[in-house]
Amino acid sequence: MSDGMSALTDVLAWVVVAGFISSAFFQRQEGQRDVGRLLASGSWVTFGVFWALLVPHFAFVQMSPIEGVLSAIAVPASLYVAYLIWSGRRDFATLTRAIAIMGIIYLPFEMSAVLQRTAIEMVTTHTEMLMTTVGYDPTVIQGPDGHRSTFEFVGDGHIFVTTVVLACTGIGSSATVSGLVLALDAPIRRRLLGVAIAVPVIYGLNVIRVGFIALAHGHQWFADFQRPVFFLFGTDNPYMVSYLIADRVLAQSLSVVALVGLTLALLRLLPELATIVEDVLFLVTGKSYDIRSLL
């Protein structure tokens, strides 16, 4: 993503977070709920614009079909939420608060070089330890960002490098689940316990994910899948096949499954999460569900 586009999406992200926080405040004030509803609607429209700007980046720059499709789906979904809130058919108050909290957790990492370096090098170190434990001997070198963040493997006369960036640290997934949990109308003790359970699980799974991608790329585990990779990504570089299969297909698909599974598992501790699940099901099906009564 260009520096100008990155700066624009960063600004939009903060605008969305500020709008969501303001809407939550006004919706809790007697006589100001219409103001809160309008703020929430406008913020969801802005959120749709934010995702629309990211679609080309995920689809063509990152060559990530999964992220490209999900960001494209987020555009009409955000606009539909805005319409439902504006029309008074559904308030989506908990989901709105959740996204605000997600932004408050994630955006400082996006904007702080110190936080980025700390997160990246910590994940790199733990991934190195994991690979060493299972019998591999990775070489870790300084990455293009100046951090100790790159795994280097040599094979068949080629050097294969996999660099850990902020998106590889799991902070996005941790912020997502933490936002969902902390936004609930539940006792603070159970919410904090939910975060304390979820974040280490996400971090551990993420270290495994990064190690798998680095090893698959470094040892060319999926080199025979050149034809499907060319069909999906339009690249004929045979040395990128294993990386694209490991990261863009397998790891990202399993990450979505893991997040959904973790959220459903947390329902046992936090049945209040049913409110958000009901909101999502309403968006997908147009029907109202009472998940809490089933639980």
What does the DSSP assignment read for 61-114? IS--HHHHHHHHHHHHHHHHHHHHHHHTS---HHHHHHHHHHHHHHHHHHH-HH
One-letter identity of residue 166? L
**HEC profile for 217-281?**
HHCCCCCCCHHHHHHHHCCCCHHHHHHHHHHHHHHHHHHHHHHHHHHHHHCCCCHHHHHHHHHHH
Strand partners, 151: 140, 162
Conformational region of residue 289, where left means phi above 0, alpha means psi within -120 to 50, and beta covers everything else? beta
Strand partners, 159: 154
Q: Which two tokens stand for residue 276?
A: 């958000």
Q: Report how far residue 273's alpha carbon sits from residue 260's, in angstroms, rounded to the nearest whole number.
A: 12
One-letter identity of residue 248? R
What is the total residue count of the chain? 295
Cβ atoms of 171 and 119 closer than 8 Å: yes
- Active-site residues, by number, are 168, 209
Look-up of token digits 């689809």? 59
Question: Which of 1, 2, 44 minimizes the C-alpha distance to 23?
Answer: 44
Q: Report how far residue 92's alpha carbon sits from residue 280's, in angstroms, rounded to the nearest whole number.
A: 9
